[in-house]
Amino acid sequence: MESPTDRTLLNLWRGGDQQAARELFERYVNRLVSVAKRRISERLAGRIDAEDVVQSVFRTFFHRAKEGKFTVTDPDDVCRLLARMTVHKVLRKVEHHTAAKRDAAAEVSQREDGQERLAELLDREPTPEEANQFLDQLEHFITQLRPEEREILELRMQGYGTDEIAHQLSTYDRKVRRVLERIRGLAEQEGIGT
């Protein structure tokens, strides 16, 4: 029996057939992970996960496809589109992680004098003015988060690990890590903790 075309699967999925979406996913996931891995340098491999990028590509693809934003005429249209989306998302991730503050190339190893300097900074107590300013900034930041993000941040600030938070909130460890990464990014944008 001949397997259905991408166009057929896409139309079935638009009609609510989840199995069609699974077939499209299975058809291209390995190719897209390979595409993503080829564009992630060794230096950034610890920061950018090719599988996460591909998951994001499929989420975007299925969301936009459901809205009718893609027209599939050629048998290779879906494959080319997914590959292009993957490359684009990888490049955006690379750009994000090579920005000035996050540039992996600018990372330096901790030498002994670096350890001593870190110890000095950690031993120094903030002035009352610095502490108040930080607390005001933190309070403003927390009010901008979604309730779920706030709950995860509060548990993290209480010393819970990602596994414990996931268990307590009946969710997945990976989701907790993603939310914490998003919060970290927002905090960097706000200048908190820098």
Q: Where are the domains of the chain?
A: 6-104, 118-190
Top-level class of domain 118-190: mainly alpha
CA atoms within 13 A on the CB side of 121: 7
> What pLDDT is recorded for position 118?
61
> What pLDDT is recorded for position 140?
77
> What pLDDT is recorded for position 25?
92
- Cβ(45)–Cβ(94) below 8 Å: no
- Cβ(165)–Cβ(155) below 8 Å: yes
> What pLDDT is recorded for position 194?
42
> What pLDDT is recorded for position 71?
81
- Cβ(161)–Cβ(115) below 8 Å: no
> Which segments in the chain show pLDDT lower than 70?
1, 100-127, 130-132, 134-135, 191-194
- Tell me the whole-structure pTM to 2 decimals: 0.51
Domain 6-104: give its CATH architecture: Orthogonal Bundle (1.10)
Dist. CA 3–CA 188, nearest whole Å: 48
Place of tokens 């897209």: 32
